[in-house]
């Protein structure tokens, strides 16, 4: 019963529409939903017999939510424009202008955001294993109650089903950033934080540590940070992540750092499409951290003694 309640909560207005048109033998051919934007499209076929059409001056269909009738097609696949008008909460068409026999009605609008939870179950991504070169995150999403949906719709397509994966970069930093550089970055972070306060003793103490870290290495923190930001651009970082079919890689964003000047985590989106034929999508998202660390290590050169940039001719300067 839970599945029926979920579907009714998400798409109850469709059932009301079908019930209202029950005398016209409505048949829902497809439901298409973009889960990220909630933009939705419903197609149904209606058959109004000639004797019914002759008795009625107008056909009135209740307008639900923000859904509009934006397309009507007759049995010969010809579009019939300017057939429906909206008035007093109903879509109205002159019965005499309706095509004979069966015809298709397409409605377009947005589902409530909360309908996402009622249509699709998305399991939070789990870090299942880590090898010497890769981390794998398990992806799992499915249509809720596909049997119930199949009893109502001939076709259901839910696009942009997205599973978010949080990838930590802190291990990679620890494995590649020389100790002296890490101390310098930490000193810069502390100096900036303390500088916002009014404790003169603490400010002087952090200033001395900052000066000491400055002398420990000639590496420019500003340019290191700039180089790391270059490596974590979506178009650059994307080559280090891949998703098993039926998933593909979607948006990639740096997660706001809670501490420190460099991004600590990456938010990677794996997306897929769910249908009545493929109601479940499972697979792995893989992060090739070793390849990422190799690029990260190039910033510092061999054992931190040299300091090359991510691109030829782009060298962080020593300060």
Supply the CATH number for residue 53's domain.
2.60.40.1730
Q: If 0-12 CB within 10 Å is exposed, 13-18 middle and 19+ buried, where does residue 39 land? A: middle
Among 94, 112, 130, identify where a domain stops: 112
Question: In the chain, what is the greatest distance between 2 CA atoms, to the nearest angstrom?
Answer: 94
Q: Are residues 188 and 54 in the same domain?
A: no
- For the CA atoms of 41, 45, 48, 50, the dihedral, rounded to the nearest 10 degrees, stands at 130
Among 87, 112, 137, identify where a domain stops: 112
Listed in sequence order, the residues at least 6 apart from 204 whose beta carbon sits closer than 8 Å to its beta carbon are none
Q: Are residues 129 and 255 in the same domain?
A: yes
Share of the chain above pLDDT 70, in %: 77
pLDDT level of residue 300 (50, 70, 90 thresholds): confident
The CB density around residue 172, as the number of other CB atoms within 10 Å, is 19
pLDDT of residue 151: 80
pLDDT of residue 255: 84
Q: If 0-12 CB within 10 Å is exposed, 13-18 middle and 19+ buried, where does residue 90 land? A: middle
More confident residue, 191 or 255: 255
Residue 271 in contact with residue 252, Cβ under 8 Å? Answer: no
Residue 160 backbone class (left: φ over 0; alpha: ψ -120 to 50; beta: rest): left
188 — phi, psi (to 5°)? -60, -45
Cα distances (Å, whole numbers) of residue 167 to 77, 137, 141, 288: 49, 9, 19, 11
> Which domain does 211 fall in, by range?
179-216
Reduced to 3 states, what is the DSSP secondary structure of residue 238?
Answer: helix
Q: Is 290 part of a structural domain of the chain?
A: yes
pLDDT level of residue 314 (50, 70, 90 thresholds): very low
pLDDT of residue 312: 38
Q: Are residues 159 and 257 in the same domain?
A: yes
Strand order through the sheet with 156-168: 68-73, 102-110, 39-47, 27-34, 156-168, 265-275, 248-255
pLDDT level of residue 283 (50, 70, 90 thresholds): very high
Residue 167 in contact with residue 287, Cβ under 8 Å? Answer: yes
**Cα angle: 165, vertex 281, 290; to 5 degrees:** 40
pLDDT at 274 over 80: yes
pLDDT of residue 207: 59
Listed in sequence order, the residues at least 6 apart from 23 whose beta carbon sits closer than 8 Å to its beta carbon are 52
Rounded to the nearest integer, the mean pLDDT of the chain is 80
Q: Are residues 278 and 149 in the same domain?
A: yes
Q: Are residues 134 and 190 in the same domain?
A: no
Beta strands in 85-237 (DSSP E): 85-87, 90-94, 102-110, 120-130, 135-143, 156-168
- pTM comes to 0.77
pLDDT level of residue 315 (50, 70, 90 thresholds): very low
CA distance 130 to 287: 9
In 3D space, the residue among 234, 212, 80, 86 whose CA is nearest the CA of residue 167 turns out to be 234
Q: Is 40 part of a structural domain of the chain?
A: yes
- For the CA atoms of 33, 35, 36, 38, the dihedral, rounded to the nearest 10 degrees, stands at 50
Q: Are residues 40 and 160 in the same domain?
A: no
Q: Are residues 42 and 188 in the same domain?
A: no
Residue 60 in contact with residue 90, Cβ under 8 Å? Answer: yes
pLDDT at 298 over 80: yes
Instruction: Report how many domains make up the chain.
Output: 3
Among 155, 187, 216, identify where a domain stops: 216
247 — phi, psi (to 5°)? -90, 155
Does the CA dihedral 229-233-237-241 come out positive or negative? positive
More confident residue, 289 or 87: 289
CA distance 16 to 44: 13
Cα distances (Å, whole numbers) of residue 318 to 50, 110, 132, 211, 309: 86, 55, 33, 15, 12
């Amino acid at each position: 019963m839970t599945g029926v309640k979920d579907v009714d909560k998400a798409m109850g207005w469709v059932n009301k529409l079908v019930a209202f048109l029950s005398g016209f033998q409505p048949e829902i051919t497809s439901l298409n939903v973009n889960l990220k934007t909630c933009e939705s499209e419903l197609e149904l076929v209606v058959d109004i017999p000639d004797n019914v059409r002759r008795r009625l001056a107008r056909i009135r269909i209740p307008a639900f939510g923000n859904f509009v009738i934006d397309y009507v097609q007759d049995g010969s696949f010809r579009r019939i424009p300017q057939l429906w008008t909206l008035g007093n909460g109903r879509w109205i068409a002159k019965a005499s202008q309706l095509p004979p026999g069966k015809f298709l009605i397409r409605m377009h609008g947005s589902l409530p955001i909360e309908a996402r939870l009622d249509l699709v179950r998305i399991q939070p991504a789990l870090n299942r294993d880590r090898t010497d070169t890769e981390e794998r995150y398990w992806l799992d999403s499915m249509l809720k109650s596909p049997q119930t949906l199949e009893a109502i719709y001939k076709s259901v397509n839910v696009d942009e089903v997205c599973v978010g994966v949080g990838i930590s970069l802190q291990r990679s930093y620890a494995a590649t950033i020389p100790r002296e550089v890490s101390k310098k970055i930490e000193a810069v972070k502390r100096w900036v934080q303390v500088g916002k306060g009014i404790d003169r003793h603490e400010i002087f103490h952090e200033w001395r540590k900052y000066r000491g870290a400055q002398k420990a290495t000639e590496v420019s923190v500003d340019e290191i940070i700039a180089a790391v930001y270059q490596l974590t651009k979506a178009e650059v970082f994307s080559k280090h992540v891949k998703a098993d079919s039926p998933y593909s890689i979607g948006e990639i964003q740096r997660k706001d750092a809670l501490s420190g000047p460099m991004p600590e985590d990456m938010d990677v989106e794996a997306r897929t499409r769910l249908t009545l034929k493929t109601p479940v999508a499972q697979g792995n998202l893989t992060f090739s951290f070793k390849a990422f660390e190799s690029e990260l290590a190039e910033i510092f050169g061999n054992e931190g003694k040299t300091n090359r940039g991510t691109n030829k001719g782009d060298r962080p300067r020593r300060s």
